[in-house]
Amino acid sequence: MESKTKIYLAAPDPDLNRQLRTQLEGAGYQIQESLDWTLVAEEVGLFGADIVVLQESLIGVVGQLKAEPRTADRPVLLVLSENTDASIQRGLESGADDIIGMPIVGADLVNRV
C-alpha cells in the first residue's frame, strides 16, 4: 500500500539527493524536490508537504520554516554530514525536529520519517 505522505526534499548535493529520494520513494512516499534553494520555505507551503527533509547546508531554512505560519507545524528532519555532538547540537538549536547523520541507513531514514 502506497503512502500518501508528502515529503519535501531539499538536498543540494546530487548524490545525497538521489540516495534520499530513492530510499523514500521506495518506501512509498510522495517526493517533491526543491526547485530553488532560496525558495524552500515558499515551496514547502505550496506543495503542502507533511514532512521536510533538509541537508545540513540549508540549516538556515529551518528557522524560516518555523517562523512562517503556513509551515511552522511541519516536522523537519535535518541530514547531517557529520554525526558529531557539535553538529547535532547546532541542528537541534536550529529548530529541527529530528536529525540523522551520515552515512544514511535506509531503514533508519524511513523510521524517522
Element (H, E) at 28: none
Residue 64 pLDDT? 93
Q: Which residue has the higher pLDDT, 59 or 2?
A: 59
Residue that the C-alpha cell 507551503 belongs to: 45
Average pLDDT over residues 42-68: 93
pTM: 0.93
Q: What is the mean pLDDT of residues 27-39?
A: 90
How many CA atoms lie less than 13 Å away from 54 in the CB half-sphere?
30
Question: What average pLDDT does the segment 24-53 reach?
Answer: 91
The residue whose grid cell reads 503512502 is 3
Whether 2 has a pLDDT exceeding 80, the answer reads no
pLDDT at residue 106 in the model:
84
Rounded to the nearest 5°, which phi and psi values hold at 29?
-80, 150
